[in-house]
Amino acid sequence: MHHAHRDVNGGWLRPAVFGAMDGLVSNLALISGVAGGRVSSSTIVLTGLAGLAAGAFSMAAGEYTSVASQRELVEAELDIERRELHRNPEGELRELAELYEARGVEPELAAEVARQLTREPEQALEIHAREELGVDPTDMPSPLVAAGSSFAAFAVGALLPLLPYLLGATQLWPAVALSLAGLFGCGAVVARITARSWWFSGLRQLLLGAAAAGVTFFVGSLFGATVG
Query: According to the model, what pLDDT value does residue 51 have?
Result: 96
- Three-state SS across the chain? CCCCCCCCCCCCHHHHHHHHHHHHHHHHHHHHHHHHCCCCHHHHHHHHHHHHHHHHHHHHHHHHHHHHHHHHHHHHHHHHHHHHHHHCHHHHHHHHHHHHHHCCCCHHHHHHHHHHHCCCHHHHHHHHHHHHHCCCCCCCCCHHHHHHHHHHHHHHHHHHHHHHHHCCCCCCHHHHHHHHHHHHHHHHHHHHHHCCCHHHHHHHHHHHHHHHHHHHHHHHHHHHHHHC
pTM, rounded to two decimals: 0.78
Output phi, psi for 4, to 5 deg.
Answer: -90, 145
The model's pLDDT over 42-54, given as tens digits with 9 standing for 90+, comes to 999 999 999 999 9
Query: According to the model, what pLDDT value does residue 3 have?
Result: 47
Instruction: Report the greatest alpha carbon distance in the chain.
Output: 82
The model's pLDDT over 67-79, given as tens digits with 9 standing for 90+, comes to 899 999 989 998 9
Count the Cβ atoms, other than its own, within 10 Å of residue 219.
Answer: 15
